[in-house]
Amino acid sequence: RPLFVILLLLGYLLHAVPMQWVAWLEGTFARSPWLVKFITFVGVVQLLLEMRQTYVQPFIYFQF
């Protein structure tokens, strides 16, 4: 899944971001209007729905 790999790489790259940038981003997001926060929330939920599995893998120990 390319989306998963991209998000995983972005997560690793976030560890190299200076803490000043993180503090600035937190402050900017906290001061942003509720509509921006809601759109961000909807985007995160959409990413979670895109990355979920389409089926539930059966518990393998029931087969023994």
CA–CA dist 12, 44 (Å, integer): 18
The pTM is what? 0.67
Q: Tell me: the pLDDT tens digits for 14-60?
A: 899 999 999 999 999 999 999 999 999 999 999 888 888 777 777 77
Amino acid at 24: W
Distance of alpha carbon 58 from alpha carbon 1, whole angstroms: 21
Q: So what's the pLDDT on residue 64?
A: 62
With 0-12 CB in 10 A as exposed, 13-18 as middle and 19+ as buried, what is 7? middle
Relative orientation angle of helices 19-31 and 34-51, to the nearest 10 degrees = 110
